[in-house]
Structure 1
Amino acid sequence: MSLHIALLRGVNAAGGRLITADELTGLLADLGHTQVRMGPKVGDLVFESRERTGAELQTQIETELLARLGLRTDVYVRTAEAWRALVAANPFPDFAAADPGWLMTLFCKDTPDKKAMGALRAAIRGTEQARAESRQIYAIYPDGVGGSRLTTSLVEKTLGTRITGRTWTAVLALAEMLEPA
């Protein structure tokens, strides 16, 4: 058994069907996953699974969410080791310590290439900064996320991949859930 984190994109976003924590944890348990726990928000799950790749788990969970709950969404799965590595790889540690709510980790379906990341950095018109590491992009928003032009749609269009984001505070809370009690 290996430990994983699954992030669901846009769960309980405005206008959509509300999904409960019990529905999500129950679905993963029904699929044979164990030690299923909800993270800091609905749509963030920590669970153990038999040896499967992250891609297989993503596909399995996406398929079952649609079939059982009528929820069409992207799922992003990382192993515990990959999660710990992405925490350690944070290129903005000083910013994270000072203002973790304005550091976002953007989880990509596909690894962005260097040319696309260059285009994304060139598209930034404010004080934001973005750096890629594997299938994550670390983005700082010194002036806040709300008025920023570094939006999900800009990132997805520029990189050609789907994303979901979590604040650094949420990333660290999920990292804590990976540690033994």
Structure 2
Amino acid sequence: MKRHAVLLRAVNVGGTGKLPMADFKALLSGLDFEAPQTLGAAGSAVIGTDAAAATVEAQLEAALKDSFGLATEVFVRDHEALKATLAANPFADMARDRPSALLVLFLKGEPAAPDVEALRARIVGPEAVHPGPRSLYIAYGAGMGTSKLTGQVIERALGLRGTSRNWNTVQKLADLTAP
């Protein structure tokens, strides 16, 4: 049975999408996923399943809506997908020196090159972006606190919805999904 990372969009961030992680873990257990465990409070978990990622995403989106009234997107990545994300990182120095300032925005699809270029043209600060496998790497050179490069700006430019995790979390999820 493969291990998968489950990433919820906009959960327990800025007072929106409140979902206690104990309740999320109980939901995962109730859906018969193997050995579910949550990571942090922002809607990250690891499960065991042989189901396809798209199937798990749809199942969890429906279950979250039915059980908690929470309408949110779910992003599922297996260990191989997470390894590919780690390997394609163009910001190795930041990953090593300032991993909390490097985000991976997991997307529902591949970012189109013209959309990434249009996004880059809109960046006025020290941030940098680079497309990855169904993801976008975002390096916040001066930190995220004062940046104008928000998730909404990025999603609007790319025409794709996503959910982000910092580099430390992505590494931890890859470790937890390892066979």
Question: In the TM superposition, what is the alpha-carbon distance from 1:89 to its structure 2 partner?
Answer: 1.3
Question: In the TM superposition, what is the alpha-carbon distance from 1:42 to its structure 2 partner?
Answer: 4.2
Distance 2:118 2:82 in 1: 26
> Partner letter of residue 130 of structure 2?
R
In the alignment, is the contact (CA less than 8 A) between 2:129 and 2:137 conserved in 1?
A: yes
Say how many residue pairs are matched.
179
The 3-state SS of whatever aligns with 2:168 is: helix
Two-structure CA RMSD over aligned residues (Å): 1.4
2:147 counterpart residue number = 148
> Partner letter of residue 23 of structure 1?
D
2:7 counterpart residue number = 7
Residues 21-72 of structure 1, C-alpha deviations (whole Å, 9 max, x = no match): 221111112112111011233410101012x221111111011000011111
Are 1:18 and 2:26 counterparts?
Answer: no
Q: How does 1:93-172 map to 2 (within 5 A)?
A: 93-172=92-171
In the alignment, is the contact (CA less than 8 A) between 1:20 and 1:42 conserved in 2?
A: no
Distance 2:172 2:32 in 1: 25
2:35 counterpart residue number = 35
Distance 1:55 1:162 in 2: 15
1:72 counterpart residue number = 71
> Partner letter of residue 40 of structure 1?
G
Structure 1 segments (4+ residues) deviating >6 Å: none
The 3-state SS of whatever aligns with 2:83 is: helix
Unaligned runs of 5+ in 1: none
The 3-state SS of whatever aligns with 1:153 is: helix
TM-aligned CA distance change 1:116 to 1:56, over 3 Å? same
> Partner letter of residue 41 of structure 2?
K
Question: In the TM superposition, what is the alpha-carbon distance from 1:173 to its structure 2 partner?
Answer: 1.9
Distance 1:42 1:150 in 2: 20
> Partner letter of residue 177 of structure 1?
L
Q: What TM-score do the two structures reach when normalised by structure 2?
A: 0.94
Distance 1:76 1:103 in 2: 19
The 3-state SS of whatever aligns with 2:106 is: strand
